[in-house]
Every structure is written in C-alpha cells, then in structure tokens.
Amino acid sequence: MGIIYNTSMKPGKDELVSAWLIKQAFFTSKREPNLQHVGGFRLEDPAGKVGIEFRFYADNTDLTDVIYHVPLTYRDAPLPGAQKYLMGTSEHGILGTRYIYDAVGDPVFNQQLAALAAGTVNAQHRHESFTEEPRVRRKGNLTGKKLDVVRKPVVGARGSEGVIGFWENALGQELRGLVLRTA
C-alpha cells in the first residue's frame, strides 16, 4: 500500500467522511459540514493489503477553528464484524471497489498504531509514495501504551504523551498538536 495512485475515487473520501461525520457524537456544528482536507499522514500495512490514512479536516461551516481527525482504512473486501465502522464503498480508478472504514474498528490499524507507539514503524507522507513523514513525531515513552485517536485536535501538546501531527490553517500556516494520546 506504499504506492499512492494519481486517480479518482467515486464517491470521494471527503464525501464519505462528511456524511459519516454528522452522525458522530464529537461533531459540534449544527449544520451540514463544509470540510476542507488540511493535513494528514499514512501508515503502512506490512502485508500490503490495507490502506491506512490519517486525515485532518477543517470544518468551514461556521467561524470556529474546529479540526476533525478522521483515520481511515481501505480494503478490497468487507471486514467481517466491522459493519458499524463502515463509512461506505468507493470506486477507485485503478484498484476497483474499496470498503472504507473508520480505522478505529480495524485490527490492522490498531496493530500499526501499536507499532507506531513502539517506534518500530514511522509515519509516511500523505502524497508521496515510500516517503517517511518526519513532521509526525512521538512525544514521551509510548512503548507498550495504547494510543487513542484525538478526534478534535488543538494546537499545542503541553504535558501530554502521544503522537504530534500537523495540519494547515486557512492562511497555509502549519499548526501542530496531539493527534493520538496515550489511553
């Protein structure tokens, strides 16, 4: 899954995330989201079967500075027992039908998250194949600790252990904050 294909998906990831997001307890807007993809990174599945992507979205519906963190996994077949995590299916221009999940319900995601915490795998660039993303870094001793997704990350990470990620604001400035925290 290290190859990033220059193709389209129908429906697109942003469409699937938008429809899924409004049903989540952590979604704070009273209106339909107007999402802008503002950052992210990937992890690799050692078996090369499951795509793993961390996506950060700004919701431009109102004047708040809310960022949503939505990790996704992509599979070529349904994941047994994970129906409640399924966001939908999409037709990938090269790979065909993809089943797209909220990654927290995917065992491959959770295995790779543990490997990220242990420092045995590194974050990968969101747009470049086979390229590490050095701006994503671990904070604290995470070995053996479970990481939870921070669904609404904020700038800064004082006193917290976890993984620091990055996204851009409306002016194109890079912001950093805790995107995965120790449980």
Model pLDDT for residues 131-175, shown as the tens digit of each residue: 899 999 999 999 999 999 999 999 986 678 999 999 998 888 999
Asked whether the beta carbons of 83 and 45 are under 8 A apart, the reply is no
- Is residue 3 included in any domain, yes or no? no
**Lowest-pLDDT range of 27-31, 34-38, 115-119, 173-177:** 27-31
- Is residue 139 included in any domain, yes or no? yes
Q: Which of 10, 114, 1 is nearest to 50 (CA)?
A: 1
Q: Which of 107, 131, 126, 114 is nearest to 167 (CA)?
A: 126
- Is residue 4 included in any domain, yes or no? no
Q: Which domain holds residue 112?
A: 9-182
In degrees to the nearest 10, what's the CA dihedral of 121, 157, 145, 168?
-40
Q: Report pTM.
A: 0.92
- Is residue 85 included in any domain, yes or no? yes
- Is residue 108 included in any domain, yes or no? yes
Q: What is the rounded distance in angstroms from the CA atom of residue 79 to the CA atom of residue 45? A: 15
Question: 103-132: per-residue pLDDT in tens?
Answer: 999 999 999 999 999 999 999 999 888 889
- Is residue 2 included in any domain, yes or no? no
* 116: enclosing H helix or E strand: helix 107-118
Count of structural domains, the chain: 1
- Is residue 96 included in any domain, yes or no? yes
- Is residue 79 included in any domain, yes or no? yes
